């Protein structure tokens, strides 16, 4: 069922994003399960480039493309798509591209200038060393030096897209959903569930903090489980 994205002010969007930076994907995944959202995890092939890329947290801005041979000279629709990115967005790239990069250093710089806080790429990237110098987290399916020009074209943006899933073949990502990625992997949180998920994830995070503290002070694991239950 399609839902209307919740309208949030720029201040609220950033405040929520900063709070998500303080919780782990593992806690968020547990919350999603309790809410009956069992297939929001993305495939483990989507990994950070480089490994030290950092945490990915932001609002989905979707870009879709396909393999489509054309003459050298650039893809104007890719530039149009990227020009719509705004503060706090994570660009989510999808499509049937294989063996080619969807974007590299220069597009990353341009998106960062517009306030973009990272990218999720169900496809290829290049210029990894230089992107790393931009402090711009990127999770991607593969890396390749082969450019997309003359091979792969953008054919839509800010539309629902499909990204490879962890427990399902595909996960639908809609504009305005929240994307969260860390060392454990990447999740997509539906826009209308963001606030509910965040509050509960923060509660679990605090619960785990208390358990760690008590374990360090000598509480046994069995005693911790008896006191706090499963975490």
**Binding site: which residues?**
104-107, 126-127
Residues of the binding site for substrate: 104-107, 126
Residues of the binding site for Mg(2+): 127
User: What is d(CA 80, CA 46) in angstroms, rounded to the nearest whole number?
Assistant: 25
Q: SS in 3 state form for 69-110?
A: CCCCCCCHHHHHHHHCCCCCEEEEEEECCCCCEEECHHHHHH
Q: Which two tokens stand for residue 171?
A: 């996960």
Question: What is the number of residues in the chain?
Answer: 231
Q: Which two tokens stand for residue 38?
A: 């069992």
């Amino acid at each position: 069922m399609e839902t209307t994205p919740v309208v949030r002010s720029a201040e609220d969007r950033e405040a929520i994003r900063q709070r998500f930076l303080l919780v782990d994907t593992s806690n968020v995944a547990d919350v999603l399960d309790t809410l009956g959202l069992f297939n929001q995890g993305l495939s483990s092939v989507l990994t950070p480039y480089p490994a030290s890329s950092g945490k990915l947290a932001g609002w989905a801005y979707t870009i879709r493309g396909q393999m489509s041979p054309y003459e050298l000279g650039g893809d104007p629709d890719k530039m149009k798509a990227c020009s719509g990115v705004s503060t706090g967005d994570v660009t989510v790239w999808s499509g049937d591209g294989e063996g080619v990069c969807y974007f590299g250093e220069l597009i990353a710089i341009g998106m960062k200038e517009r306030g973009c806080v990272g990218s999720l790429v169900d496809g290829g990237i290049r210029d990894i060393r230089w992107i790393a110098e931009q402090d711009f987290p990127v999770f991607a399916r593969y890396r390749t030096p082969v450019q997309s020009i003359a091979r792969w074209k953008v054919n839509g943006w800010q539309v629902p897209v499909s990204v490879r899933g962890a427990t399902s073949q595909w996960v639908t990502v809609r504009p305005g959903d929240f994307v969260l990625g860390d060392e454990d992997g990447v999740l997509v949180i539906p826009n209308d569930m963001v606030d509910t998920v965040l509050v509960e994830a923060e509660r679990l995070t605090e619960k785990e903090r208390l358990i760690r503290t008590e374990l360090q002070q000598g509480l046994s694991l069995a005693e911790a489980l008896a006191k706090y239950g499963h975490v």
